Chain A
Amino acid sequence: MEKPANRARLVKAPEHFISQELIADINANGLDENRRGFLRKGFMSALGGAAAGLTAPLAMAAGEGDPAILEKQEWQTTLGKNVATMPYGVPSIYESNLIRRESPGLTRVSAASVAFTPLQGLFGTITPNGLHFERHHQGWYNLNPETHRLMVNGLVKNPRVFTMNDLMRLPSVSRTHFIECGANTGLEWGNVAVPTVQYTHGMLSCCEFTGVPLKVLLEECGADLKKGKFMLAEGGDGSGMTRTINLESCLNDTIVAWAMNGEMLRPENGFPLRLVVPGVQGVSWVKWLRRLEVGDMPWNSKDEAVHYIELMPNGMHRQYASIQECKSVITTPSGGQQLLDKGFYNVSGMAWSGRGKITRVDVSFDGGNNWRTARLETPILTKSITRFNIDWVWDGSPAILQSRAFDDTGYIQPSIKKLRDVRGTRSIYHNNAIQSWKLDSNGEVSNVQVG
């Protein structure tokens, strides 16, 4: 085993201008303007402005051991903060890099744009509510739940109006499902376009949703489910988002939901009410839901007949391509990340299928030539994200990492080439191809396409 002293590769702190207090302070609180200003001033005089030494507080005194062990830390020797200092709570200041982000240049206006979930930093299967991806068509509002109404009309015996008070009295269910925008990974149909998994796959989230089953509401209103094969879901926002829902396919697991991961929906995700249509692309999970109309034919409404359509190589558009097929992606390591050194790593990722449960995930480290089966972590739920892990010892040579998922219909996630052969390159939607990450010998991971 290596001696601790030999493992330390950092320059020893220039102690004459960084005090132990400041080191402790930076360790405890990170760098803010004051602390950075202090450092910068110190360096300016000592090193002519060089930024070296920022990692110096982690340095190890030669021979003796790690100061993180040898020295008492502020949090061991002083009183911490009171309970309820942050009554709703926020992540640690050390987590401030993991936030939703827009892809520069993707859209001209942020009110009709996407903010991607930072999948590269998430664990397990649940997306924290503050990081759930956002996609709006005409901006978001904080709707007043007291004046919010849900109307059910169309082919129903009793067209009815429900308040939030009404809905939240009804029998509810809580189920964990993934939601994925149909355009997730759509930027990559033609070629590699974005650097990280946040932008390639970040229109994906997975939460426990609570609400009343759609079926209960429709039965309550006396819906004619023999003639009424379709339903229009309409949002209460400016875009009045409308989507045709195929009742035949979705009636049994669709939820009219008000809660997400134990709290009310966030405004960006449709507070106070949204539709949850498991397995189906996110645009159908209508946010700020205000109306459900049962009908006997699809509506061809604005977003389903103008925007969310796929151009096939023969010039024909596909409409109502709704199901999100089986897909997976390795999230650590992933594009834009940097491995520190050779040796052991837990390689981890997510797999999901809009048609059912994940049954298996394989991982390749050589661009798809050889594969090993990964560990699936529990819970494995239908139309939900399943986490997979696999052990790997990196020897420092270049590698190409891939994952492929299998679902319980027997479907296997295909290569980008196979998909392109059928759908061409202008499809935008429903790209569920195997993702490739190239690892260079310097430890940097980048987004590539194989084949």
Chain B
Amino acid sequence: MFKLDKFSIGLGFAALIAITAQQALAQSGSAKFPGIGRTATPAEVAAWDIDVRPDFKGLPKGSGSVEKGQVIWEAKCASCHGTFGESNEIFTPIAGGTTKDDVKTGRVASLNDMKQPQRTTLMKVPTVSTLWDYIYRAMPWNAPRSLTPDDTYALVAFILSLGEIVPDDFVLSDKNIAEVKMPNRNGMTTKHGFWNVSGKPDVNGNACMHNCVPFVQIGSTLPDFARNAHENIAEQNRMYGPYRGADTTKPPIKELPGASGAGLAHAADTHSSAAKGPATLFKNENCSACHAPNAKLVGPSIADVAKKYDGQSGALEKLMAKVKSGGAGVWGSIPMPPQAQLSDEDRKALVVWMLSGGK
């Protein structure tokens, strides 16, 4: 051991303080909440900061052609959105309702004339950056974040070509994306009173207390055929207390039921909330996102599956394995994602139910 003089002790101590302070800064960034949080590394920021603004801040380099976009589209997007972005099966259509004139004016005329049945994405979105960001961050719907920047450029190019905003031989890139003229680029406003808590309301009610509207006119009621469209309302209300649900499986009662509620459907008799079994599993496990009872969505309909495997030996085992680890190629190019979250019991119940045609 050796003896330290005062000077070297002081130096060492000062250095220690400096090092500690540096570490503390990296650790906490402030003296206010020491030990809380840490500095984000550049790689971490790059991994998460993927948003793209209207001024294209955040847009990665890359490019993609309409032609390549069409190939990716047909493999990964068409099942939900239709070959031409026109499908209304699952979400509202992507393309349609815009004209070359709209591209010139920057206002979509069909938003005014009400002739278009639906507002498509191209009719609405004012900035091409939004399309890019949407696809890159959240598409395909059941496999988000699986596309590369180049894939995304290609898909945006393909969508733009569907709206005749760019020609069929167009190659979209970070260099030329700012030149794209969206058909509804002038059709969006933030001039309203709802952006700020201190904004001005559109309208105001009135505080009249007596004889305010001498003639009360009912303008709209629910049509009779819709009486049970939301299932039995009796089962959606408390089965005791002063306010019961009307039994909408039956026509309205003629007289007041009386203090005891006699004559009303007894909600306990019909506990719809207790529904279980494969049909509920099918819905809760989101099988219904891709399979419908009788229509082809992303995947085959239940009826088609039942028909294909009708009477086949080993169909149960085969399909159970397929549900567990996923499959591809039997019903088209869209793969079925593995459903590893299901218990063997649930998987069996689902497959048996599918094979019986959902009965």
Contacts and interface: CB of A to CB of B under 8 A. Distances in A.
A418 to B, nearest CB: 5
B217 A297 contact: no
Nearest to A161: B40
A99 B267 CA distance: 13
Contacts of A240: 50, 137-138, 144-145
Interface stretch (A69-77, A125-133, A258-266, A434-442): A434-442
Contacts, number: 389
A262 B14 CA distance: 47
B36 A293 contact: no
A56 B245 CA distance: 19
A311 B145 contact: no
A301 B244 contact: no
Contact of B194 (A138, A430, A451): A430
Interface string B23-64: 000000110110111111000110011110111000000000
Given A96-B273, A110-B283, A153 B40 contact: yes
Given A242-B137, A306-B125, A450 B208 contact: no
Contacts of A238: 138, 144-145
Interface in A393-451: 396, 400, 404, 406, 411-415, 418-419, 421-423, 430, 434, 436, 438, 440-451
Interface stretch (A16-24, A101-109, A172-180): A101-109
A50 interface: no
Nearest to A447: B222
Interface residues of B, number: 119
Contacts of A321: 192, 194-195
A422 B203 contact: yes
B243 A332 contact: yes
A450 B25 CA distance: 64
Contacts of A443: 253, 256-257
A339 B264 CA distance: 11
Interface string B212-256: 111011111110001101110101111110111110100011111
27 contacts: A9-B260, A31-B266, A31-B268, A36-B269, A58-B260, A94-B268, A97-B238, A104-B231, A109-B288, A110-B284, A112-B91, A151-B48, A191-B219, A195-B227, A239-B144, A240-B138, A242-B133, A291-B49, A299-B54, A311-B119, A315-B111, A318-B188, A319-B189, A338-B264, A370-B212, A412-B207, A434-B205
Given A170-B36, A325-B194, A337-B244, 15 more contacts: A54-B266, A151-B48, A158-B29, A221-B29, A240-B137, A242-B137, A246-B195, A301-B133, A318-B194, A319-B126, A325-B201, A370-B209, A411-B201, A418-B205, A448-B218
Interface of A: 7-11, 30-31, 36, 51, 54-55, 58, 94-99, 101, 103-105, 108-112, 118, 120-121, 137-139, 151-154, 158-163, 166, 169-170, 191-196, 198-199, 220-222, 232, 234, 238-240, 242, 246, 248-250, 279, 290-291, 293, 295, 297-302, 305-306, 309, 311, 314-323, 325, 332-334, 336-342, 345, 354-355, 362, 366-371, 396, 400, 404, 406, 411-415, 418-419, 421-423, 430, 434, 436, 438, 440-451
